[in-house]
């Protein structure tokens, strides 16, 4: 059974840092396109970042230069390092598995999410 469990969320001050973790089970993270998608309270979904099977990474313009996606193949985990946090980064952050087909990917499994609140 595929499971994704996020951890590391919490309250952080503006300009602070936080690292989210996502523990995967039922599949191998390094065999999939893994993403982070966020959802501000009461609002819609925003794709944040992806790490490809080969290790290439891509980011939304809103987080480029501040967030870093990575994975630890030995632990089967995905991470999101978030620096220089802003109030507008407040959201539930979902760890999401991508299903790769025809040169692209869509999201087939989602974690329960981790809430990040940026506030002084």
Partner 1 sequence: DIVMTQSPDSLAVSLGERAAINCKSSQSVVYSSNNKNYLAWYQQKPGQPPKLLIYWASTRESGVPDRFSGSGSGTDFTLTINSLQAEDVAVYYCQQYYNTPLTFGGGTKVEIK
**By C-beta, is 36 or 79 nearer to partner 1?**
36
Q: Site residues (CB under 8 A) for partner 1?
A: 35, 44-47, 50, 58, 60-61, 94, 99, 102-113
**By C-beta, is 86 or 99 nearer to partner 1?**
99
Shortest distance (Å) from residue 114 CB to partner 1:
11
Mapped to the 3 state alphabet, what secondary structure does the chain carry? CCEEEEECCEEECCCCCEEEEEEEECCCHHHCEEEEEEECCCCCCEEEEEECCCCCEEECCCCCCCEEEEEECCCCEEEEEECCCCHHHCEEEEEEEEEEECCEEEEEEECCCEEEEECC
**By C-beta, is 60 or 117 nearer to partner 1?**
60
């Amino acid at each position: 059974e595929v499971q994704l469990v996020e951890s590391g969320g919490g309250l952080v001050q503006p300009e602070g840092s936080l690292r989210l973790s996502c523990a995967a089970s039922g599949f191998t993270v390094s065999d999939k396109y893994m993403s982070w998608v966020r959802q501000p309270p009461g609002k819609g979904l925003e794709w944040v970042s992806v790490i490809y099977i080969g290790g290439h990474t891509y980011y939304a313009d809103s987080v480029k230069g501040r967030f870093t996606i990575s994975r630890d193949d030995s632990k089967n985990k995905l991470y999101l390092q978030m620096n220089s946090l802003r109030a507008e980064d407040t959201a539930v952050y979902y760890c999401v598995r991508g299903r790769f087909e025809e040169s692209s990917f869509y999201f087939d499994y989602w974690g329960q999410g981790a809430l990040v609140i940026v506030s002084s």
